[in-house]
Chains A and B, each alone.
Chain A
Amino acid sequence: MTALADPLAPAPAAPAAARPVNRARRRAQILHHIVLIFGVLLMCGPMVVTFMSSTWDPVVIHSEGLQLGYGGKFLETYETVLLKGGGFTGEITGTLMLWNSVLLGLGFAIGKIVISMLAAYAIVYFRFPFASLAFWVIFATLLLPLEVRILPSYEVVQRLGMLNSWSGLILPLIASATATFFFRQFFRSIPDELLEAARIDGAGPFRFFVDILAPLSKTMMAAIFIIMFVVGWNQYLWPALMTTDESMFTIVRGIRQILQVWIGANIPDYNQALALAILAMAPPALVVLVFQRMFIKGLVETEK
């Protein structure tokens, strides 16, 4: 790896150098391409195989494993998965499950950004008693993920009368400090002069937040939005425990439901599970791709 490490190679318009250097540089470029091609194969290969396999018959997947070639059943499988009504009500389609996952992802990401931005703002920009206590209380939530406190959480949600509701589904997931931690780091990197200037102009906390801090945080918000959207989208265990209403089922749960066949009696519809897996990846992947630039920029800013 050391041989390839040349991130400081100056831009193409570098001063003219001796020939050996040029050759070495070309060799380095080739090596970089090899590394990247290997990486792309490593990351995308399994996805291609998953997609290809989803176009085969479930029996073939069951007995011969993943497939590299195209199986010819793309349209049928994806149509079934997207449009065929399942569940007792017959209304659970892949489309509905996708929509529910979108709701969960959006609700979670937006809720989390709003709440944690406000909290981080208070912690970084205000001097008040208990500030560090508040920070540590919030930070403590990183210690125990929902999976290991899931039963008591269920009881709490029930006592609050929030079973089978989107707020009951989303709020307990929001109770984790990751985003607050990100925003705190980011706010601390913003130069003090900004606040000084704002105060000379007579801006109060509200004006400062709305006019200066929020616009400055745009890319950061985008980065956190992507991260959180994906986290919300990928939830499985909590929604499965919380919701009994079929109309709230999400796509990750749908994948599990297909594979959850009493073993032996039937062959699971592997093709449909894989097709759902591909569909489940599409929207978050799209979010990542669309916000790609902001994502990286946002992260660059956090780290300073």
Chain B
Amino acid sequence: MKKVQFGPSWTPYLLLAPQLIIVALFFLWPAGEALRSSFYLEDPFFGNATFVGFDNYVDSTSAADYGRSAQFTAVFTVSICVISLGIALALAVSADAVLRGKSPYKTALMWVYAIAPPVAGLIGVMMFDQHIGPLSDFARWLGWEMQVGVSYFDTAVAMITVAAWKQIPVNFIFFLSGLQGIPNSLREAAAIDCRSPARRFWTVVFPLLAPTSFFLLVINITYAFFETFGVIDVMLKGEPGNNPVTLVYKVFLDGFRGQDLGGSSAQSVILMIAVFALTIVQFRLIERRVHYS
């Protein structure tokens, strides 16, 4: 916290009021509703509810595909972080290091940032189409009979690819700005101390990028959990079938698509607790890093 602050007065409350009012109305109230309805089975039209205790929790978590979804969510999240952050870091390092053509490269890599998730999904569906998709053809050429939509594994690969692809520009932009934030004096000093570029990267630059990386980790996990919704939705073509879905998408499937309000509320409460735990851990790490630097 700041050492210097304004003293107590009514001003901070006034400043906070708009955000707190919006949060209370449009977040706390609906989230409270979700918590309440997770203990009820509810008639969707009239809201006549029967209290069922923890039945909704038991029923939804014991369904055969819940464990599978949880597992997929973990794999999906980790893969997106690794692939997307890895490629973006490589690109940012190169974009920072090239002497010529810096700005056209930057522009070409940045503008795709704006692509809407459903649009990314649409392109993905066509690229990975099991009959005419060029990427499926490519996989077949490599000897892999890829059938997105039929094989659980193949669909998972396609989803991860598309979701990670869409996130590359965001990570690229943040990494690049992180690299550009490294003062020139430091670069020159490092160049003298450390001959090998690779060693220079891992011993000097990478630690300096750590706050950025931690921050991006949070952003990417949030993205993989919540913002891939549009990608998955389009890639499933309306039928989940024997295909992987994330836990967030399952909440949507059961609640929004299937009108099982109680079951889907229970799942979102579980999710909320999980994300909360995850966030606290991450937050601590980030805070520490920020102070450290």
Residue numbers of A with Cβ under 8 A of B are: 1-12, 14, 28-29, 31-33, 35-36, 39-40, 42-44, 46-47, 49-50, 53, 63-66, 114-116, 118-119, 121-129, 131, 134, 137-145, 147-153, 155-157, 160, 171-172, 174-177, 180, 185, 188, 192, 195-196, 199, 205, 230, 233-234, 236-237, 252, 255-256, 259, 273-274, 277, 280-281, 284-285, 287-289, 292, 295-297, 299-300, 303-304
The answer to whether B132 and A64 have CB atoms under 8 Å apart is yes
CB of B122 within 8 A of CB of A143, answer no
With A118-B19, A175-B25 known, 10 other A-B pairs at CB within 8 A are: A5-B93, A36-B94, A39-B109, A39-B168, A64-B132, A119-B16, A127-B7, A140-B27, A151-B261, A237-B229
Q: Contact between B18 and A296 (Cβ–Cβ < 8 Å)?
A: no
Partner of A148, one of B9, B211, B271, B276: B271
With the chains together, A227 CA to B106 CA distance in Å?
Answer: 17
Is A289 a contact of B4 with CB atoms below 8 Å? Answer: no
A149 in contact with B23 (CB, 8 Å): no
Chain A, residue nearest B187 (CB):
A8
- Cα A142 to Cα B225 with chains together (Å): 11
Supply 9 A–B pairs (Cβ within 8 Å), ascending by A.
A1-B90, A36-B101, A65-B133, A114-B18, A127-B7, A137-B23, A171-B26, A289-B107, A303-B211
> Is B169 positioned at the interface, with any CB of A under 8 Å from its CB?
yes
Q: Say what secondary structure dominates the interface of chain A.
A: helix
A287 touching B201 by the CB < 8 A rule?
Answer: no
CB atoms of B276 and A175 under 8 A apart:
no
CA A259 to CA B279, docked complex, whole Å: 37
Interface residues of B in 175-208 (CB under 8 A from A): 176-182, 184, 187-188, 190-191, 194, 197-198, 200-202, 204-205
Select one of A7, A140, A236, A304 contacting B118, CB under 8 A: A236
B100 CB to closest chain A CB (Å) equals: 8
Report which of A53, A127, A192, A300 forms a contact with B8, defined as CB distance below 8 A: A127
Complex: A29 Cα to B100 Cα, angstroms: 9
Q: Residues on B close to A: CB < 8 A?
A: 1-9, 11-13, 15-16, 18-20, 22-23, 25-31, 33-34, 37, 86-87, 89-91, 93-99, 101, 105-119, 122-123, 126-127, 129, 131-134, 165, 168-169, 172-174, 176-182, 184, 187-188, 190-191, 194, 197-198, 200-202, 204-205, 211-212, 215, 222, 226-227, 229-230, 248, 251-252, 255-256, 261, 264, 268, 271-272, 275-276, 279, 290, 293
Contacts of B134 in A (CB 8 A): 65-66
Q: Among B11, B106, B108, B264, which residue has its beta carbon within 8 angstroms of that of A122?
A: B11
Specify which of A143, A177, A285, A299 is in contact with B173 (CB 8 Å cutoff): A299
Dominant secondary structure of chain B at its interface with chain A:
helix
CA–CA, A295 to B114, complex, Å?
A: 13
Contact B118 A256 (CB under 8 A): yes
Q: A179 to B95, alpha carbons, bound, how many Å? A: 27
A119 and B201 in contact (CB under 8 A), knowing A5-B93, A44-B112?
no
Chain B contacts of A185 at CB under 8 A?
290
Interface pair A125/B119, CB less than 8 Å apart: no
Inter-subunit contact B91/A6 (CB<8 Å) = no
| Contact across chains for B188 and A10 when beta carbons are under 8 A apart | yes
B28: chain A residues at CB < 8 Å are: 137
Instruction: Tell me which residues across on chain A come within 8 A of B256, comparing CB atoms.
Output: 147, 150-151, 237
Contact assessment for A304 and B181 in the assembled complex, using a CB-CB cutoff below 8 Å = yes
| Residue pair B116, A233 in contact (C-beta under 8 Å) | yes
Q: Which residue of A lies closest to B5 (CB)?
A: A127
Known contacts A46-B127, A126-B5, A127-B6: A7-B119 contact under CB 8 Å: no
- Residues in chain A near residue B109, CB distance under 8 A: 36, 39-40, 43
- Is there contact, CB below 8 Å, between A280 and B197? no
Pairs A-B, 10 closest by C-beta atoms? A284-B114, A65-B132, A152-B30, A5-B201, A152-B33, A6-B197, A126-B12, A122-B15, A122-B12, A119-B19
Docked complex Cα distance between A261 and B94 (Å): 44
Which residues of A have CB within 8 Å of B176? 296
| Inter-chain contact A171/B290, CB cutoff 8 Å | no
Complex Cα distance, B104 from A289, in Å, reads: 11
- Complex CA gap A126/B31 in Å reads 29
- Cα–Cα distance between A18 and B288 once the two chains are bound (Å): 42
Is there an interface contact between B174 and A156, defined as CB atoms closer than 8 Å? no
Q: How far is the CA of A66 from the CA of B181 in the complex (A)?
A: 41
Given contacts A46-B127, A142-B222, A255-B122, contact A192 B116 (CB under 8 A): no
- Contact flag A288-B179 (CB < 8 Å), given A42-B165, A259-B122: no
Given A10-B191, A188-B2, A252:B272 Cβ within 8 A:
no
Question: How many whole Å from A165's CB to the nearest CB in chain B?
Answer: 14
Instruction: Name the one of B110, B172, B276 contacting A292, with C-beta atoms under 8 angstroms.
Output: B110
Question: Across the interface, do B20 and A280 meet the contact criterion of CB distance under 8 Å?
Answer: no
Question: Are B97 and A32 interface neighbours, CB within 8 A?
Answer: yes
B177 touches A303 (CB 8 A): yes
Taking the nearest CB of chain B, how far is it from the CB of A236, in angstroms?
Answer: 6
Q: Are A180 and B4 in contact (CB under 8 A)?
A: no
CA gap between A237 and B6 in the complex, in Å: 42
Contact A65 B129, CB 8 Å, known A126-B5, A205-B11: yes
* Cβ A143 vs Cβ B132 within 8 A: no
A145 touches B113 (CB 8 A): no
Q: Which of B27, B111, B198 has the most CB of A within 10 A?
A: B27
